[in-house]
């Protein structure tokens, strides 16, 4: 599959679509998932284009997963979580819906199930509130 420069994450990286950013550096962008499956569900994407993990330039992995670890610790603190789910999908058969490499980071609490991916956008005020908690934990 060829990389589509018009995918939503490429457009977020170019500033064409707004996002609730958590942090950004020269290599990655972390932001809130607008269709969260748990409170605090966020995403980390590399700035270098790739469809998924299997076609990515291996040089993206260190900064990507360093950021995933940083964000995982922050969401655990921000949401007083018992653990963190980290997911990454490759190909539509595996559940990938946006064809730009991305990693889901979700704080988890014992007994609280993950909501199904419904395609329903969360209220922006809730997303902003959760983002503020994560940014505070990152500080």
Hey, where are the domains in the chain?
Answer: 8-138
Which pLDDT belongs to residue 121? 93
Q: What is the pLDDT of residues 82-102, one digit of tens each?
A: 999 999 999 999 999 999 999
Q: What is the DSSP letter of 47?
A: S
Which are the catalytic amino acids? 102
Neighbours of 101 (CB within 10 A): 27
Class at the top of the CATH hierarchy for domain 8-138: alpha beta
Rounded-to-integer distance, Cα 86 and Cα 37, Å: 12
pLDDT tens digits, one per residue of 68-85: 999 999 999 999 999 999
C-alpha neighbours within 13 Å on the C-beta side of residue 133: 20
> Mean pLDDT, to the nearest integer, of 101-121?
92
**Bridge partner list, 23:** 30
């Amino acid at each position: 599959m060829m990389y589509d420069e018009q995918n939503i994450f490429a457009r977020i990286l170019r500033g064409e679509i707004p996002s609730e950013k958590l942090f950004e550096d020269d290599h990655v962008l972390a932001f809130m998932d607008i269709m969260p499956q748990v409170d605090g569900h966020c995403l980390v994407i590399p700035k270098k284009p790739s469809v998924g993990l299997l076609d990515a330039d291996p040089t993206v992995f260190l900064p990507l997963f360093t950021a995933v670890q940083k964000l995982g610790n922050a969401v655990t603190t921000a949401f007083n979580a018992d653990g963190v789910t980290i997911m990454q999908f490759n190909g539509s058969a595996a559940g990938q819906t946006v064809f730009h490499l991305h990693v889901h980071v979700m704080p988890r609490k014992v007994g609280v199930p993950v909501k199904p991916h419904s395609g329903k956008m969360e209220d922006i005020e809730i997303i902003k509130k959760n983002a503020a908690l994560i940014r505070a934990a990152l500080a």
